[in-house]
Amino acid sequence: ARTVITFGTFDVFHVGHLRVIERAAALGDRLVVGVSADALNERKKGRVPVFSQAERLAIVAALKPVHEVFVEESLELKRDYIVKYGADVLVMGDDWQGRFDEFEDVCEVVYLPRTPAISTTALIEKISST
Ligand code: C2G
């Protein structure tokens, strides 16, 4: 079986998140998703997610194309996660284009085009301005 792995925060879950997960799943037989920890977001983005990691994990785990989820504790552990979950393909949105090419020695690395005109940041702004 071909295992696909992808990573993300998936905060304020929206259709752009759904589409990338669906397209990632279509590249293999089994999709594993690393959902970034609250502490990782705080560290890297200086923002606490709207939904907690437990909530974000529960939402992603309930999606039909997703076979397994885990908490991504650190960006530096990506190689370990790829090996641990036996991933044959790493998929990321093209906002990360080129950033994970170093893992091409352990798996295939694919960047998918983002769904246009939707983002968590834009949603937060839209909701808070109404
Ligand atoms: N995405 C997309 N289209 C959008 C918005 C997001 O295809 N309109 C994709 C992103 O490209 C990413 C996934 O949805 O592949 C999750 O996006 P984020 O939640 O923003 O994840 P991010 O914080 O970029 O992940 O190891 C990586 C980290 O976990 C960070």
pLDDT of residue 130 exceeding 80: no
Residue 75 CA, distance from chain mean position? 12
* Residues in the ligand 1 pocket, defined by CB under 6 Å: 7-11, 16-17, 20, 36, 72, 75, 92-93, 95, 114-115, 118-119
| CA–centroid distance, residue 10 to ligand 1 (Å) | 7
pTM (predicted TM-score):
0.96
Helical residues (DSSP H) of 5-114, grouped into ranges: 15-25, 38-45, 53-61, 78-84
Number of H helices, E strands in the chain: 5, 5
From 7, 56, 102, the mutation candidate for ligand 1 (largest count of ligand atoms within 8 A of CB) is 7
Q: What percent of the chain has pLDDT over 90?
A: 95
Provide long-range contacts, Cβ within 8 A and 24+ apart, for 103-109: 103/78, 103/79, 106/79, 106/82, 107/5, 107/82
- The overall average pLDDT reported for the chain is 96
ipTM of the complex: 0.96
